[in-house]
Amino acid sequence: SEISMKPFPVEEPIIIAHRGASAYTPEHTILAYEAAKEAAATYIEIDLQMTKDGVLVAMHDEKVDRTTDGTGFVKEYTLDELKQLNAGKWFNQTFPDLANKQFESLEVPTLEEIFLYFGDEVNYYIEMKSPGIYNAMEEKLLALLKQYNLIQVNEGLPRVIIESFNEDSLTKVYQLEPRLTLIKLYSFNEEEAALSVQEYNRLRSYASGIGVNLNSVTTDFIQEVQQNGLQIHLYTIENEVEMKKALNLKSNGIFINNPDLGIRIKDEF
Ligand code: G3P
Ligand code: CA
């Protein structure tokens, strides 16, 4: 049934490896997701952009500049061209203390390559990053999820969660495939997270929950969201202090750059 496709744990928060294990490996590379899997993160987080020839790829920014040795917009690159870029050298240059020779041979993975590589060995938390600048990102994503049989439940959790700041994009996915678990993202000012009754009602019509920046929330807000029948996941935890804060807030999920740290602290908590 529709309900049983959207199960969530209630007792402890899911640990979402933000951009893979991005604290110590180059974000959005197979190695970063591999490290997240090693750490036993509940989900690997994948931000999506799209190439000129319509291929979904894992990258946070609309431009390749920050996380590769190239320049310009992803949408101006064909997949062949994008594959020429190096996706790990920047990390060694930016974080010399964490540099690793292995990182020098990394490329930008396509979403399909990620599915082929990990199959049903991980759960996927996928962000439609800039759906407004791409054509049919939602349809392409759904086609891949179906092709790789990923619209399923894994040990009581959704195999795939889809997140976006873009509500139109999420409602489009909902209309195309109502069984999927959707998370609407928000970014609020410090301690100013708030939603109206109308917003809660609208959210419940398509989403399972929301993703919100840690510094914006209060305990009262977290409880209000949960009492309104929605999950709340907090981004982005960078250290032990923030991890403890997120655990004390009793959210349902935690986006963290260092999933090893997150799981250790959660287990000790
Ligand atoms: O998706 C939640 C969080 O990842 C949003 O921040 O910019 O890292 O995608 P960003
Ligand atoms: Ca993200």
Question: Does domain 3-61+113-268 match CATH 3.40.50.300?
Answer: no
**4: pLDDT confidence band, cut at 50, 70 and 90?**
low
Atom from ligand 1 closest to the CA of residue 211: 2
| Residue 22 backbone dihedrals phi, psi, to 5 degrees | -75, -5
Ligand nearest 256 Cα, by number? 1
Global pTM reads 0.97
Distance of CA 42 to the CA centre of its chain: 11
Known active-site residue 233: no
Atom from ligand 1 closest to the CA of residue 125: 1
Q: Whose CA is nearest to atom 10 of ligand 1?
A: 60
Q: Kindly report the length of the chain.
A: 269
> For 140-171, what is each residue's pLDDT tens digit?
999 999 999 999 999 889 999 999 999 999 99
User: Contact at 8 Å (CB) between 43 and 17?
Assistant: yes
> For 120-130, what is each residue's pLDDT tens digit?
999 999 999 99
Q: Whose CA is nearest to atom 2 of ligand 1?
A: 235
Residue among 60, 140, 172, 184 flagged as catalytic: 60
Number of continuous H segments (helices) and E segments (strands) in the chain: 10, 11
